[in-house]
Amino acid sequence: MNMTNNTVLITGGGSGIGRGLAEAFHKLGNQVVIAGRGQKRLDEVTAANPGMRSLTVDMGDVDSIRSFAARVTADFPALDAVVHMAGVMKPENLLAQQESLADAEATVATNLLGPIRLTAALLPHLLERPAATIMTVSSGLAFVPLATTPTYCATKAAVHSYTQSLRYQLKGTSVRVVELIPPYVATTLTGPQQATDPLAMPLDAYLAEVMQILTDEPDATEVNVKRVHPLRYATDRGHAEYDKFFETFNDQMATARAKPH
């Protein structure tokens, strides 16, 4: 991925990893466009980063995505990179599925259908650029699911699969496909408590390692910081060892969540 002289669209750019990446690319001199549902939050980010631009979009709504894609390509004809950072993560009690079904459906719409729909809408434009990048965002939990957030993990596993197919189909074109695979990072994705959770990787440290990987490995197809390796490569241990790891991981997370911070 080229690190300079790009026009980069980052969905979910109003907070967390999305905002961090937006500011990192902005500092490198790229034209950065952030997108999200709340204009107030987007305005706060652009005010702190003169020259950064913003547009609103609801990544869970197909009509919103269509109109957004038309506007962003019209307003920013040099657009040559998109980072699909927008996402939601909510706990679900599958024993009371009727209570959480709406959350599950909204998670699928935002986390999976959202990037698929936006990619489809932007791809004709990106294919006309001399060099372009689509960065999808899965998770370490795509490879070892956290049982308390089953639909989130399922969507991220689907994003990983979709990314592989997208990359294969775009071989020989001007569009490269990169997958960002974050570990558990100190953001507010699941609520304010996550930002101070000692189990989470500090956001600044995560962003620094990601940008270093992108700089040092311009042809990388996956961006995996060291913190995510145990999850990303869990299946390399074999089926039996993976099953043990899955049980241990979920038991440890459940115990940690039960402790007051």
pLDDT digits (tens, 9 = 90+) for 87-136: 999 999 888 866 668 899 999 999 999 999 999 999 999 999 999 999 99
Q: Is 10 a residue whose pLDDT tops 90?
A: yes
Those residues whose C-beta lies under 8 Å from the C-beta of residue 222, and which sit 6 or more positions away, are 178, 179, 180, 181, 232
Q: Mind listing the pLDDT tens digit for each residue in 204-229?
A: 999 999 999 999 999 999 999 999 99
233 domain residue, yes or no: no
**Helices first, then strands: H and E counts in the chain:** 9, 7
Which segments of 147-220 does DSSP mark as H helices, in order? Answer: 150-169, 203-216
Is the pTM above the cut of 0.85?
yes
**Residue 164 sits in a domain of what CATH number?**
3.40.50.720
Indicate whether 235 belongs to any domain.
no
Domain count, the chain: 1
Q: Which DSSP state fits 102?
A: H
What three-state secondary structure class fits 135? strand
Residue 256: per-residue pLDDT = 82
Q: Is residue 237, in this structure, part of any structural domain at all?
A: no
| Count of beta carbons in the 10 Å neighbourhood of residue 88 | 20
Q: What is the per-residue pLDDT for 259?
A: 65
The structure tokens listed for 129 are 């650029």
Separation of alpha carbons 88 and 70, rounded Å: 24
> Out of 88-92, 156-160, 178-182, which region has the weakest mean confidence (pLDDT)?
88-92
Q: For this structure, is 206 an active site residue?
A: no
Q: Which pLDDT value is given to residue 187?
A: 96
Asked if the structure places residue 123 within a domain, the reply is yes
- Joined tokens for residue 96: 């009371």
Pair 118, 70: CB distance under 8 Å: no
Residue 56 near residue 35, CB atoms below 8 Å:
yes
Residues 6+ positions from 15 with CB-CB distance below 8 Å: 36, 41, 187, 188
Count of Cβ atoms closer than 10 Å to residue 109 Cβ: 18
Task: HSE, CB side, 13 Å, CA atoms: give it for residue 83.
Answer: 26
Strand order in the sheet with 53-56: 53-56, 31-36, 7-11, 81-84, 132-137, 175-180, 222-223
pLDDT at 82 over 60: yes
- End-to-end CA distance of the chain, in Å? 39
Instruction: For residue 138, count other CB atoms closer than 10 A to its CB.
Output: 26
Q: Supply the range of the domain harboring residue 182.
A: 7-228
> Per the structure block, which two tokens stand in for 164?
């592989």
Evaluate whether residue 109 is within a structural domain: yes
Q: Is residue 183 part of a domain?
A: yes
63 located within any domain? yes
Chain mean pLDDT for the chain:
95
* Of 194, 192, 229, 191, nearest in space to 209 by CA: 229
pLDDT of residue 2: 85
Average pLDDT, stretch 34-60? 97
- Please give the pLDDT value at position 97: 66
Residue 255 confidence (pLDDT) = 87
Residue 171 lies in a domain: yes
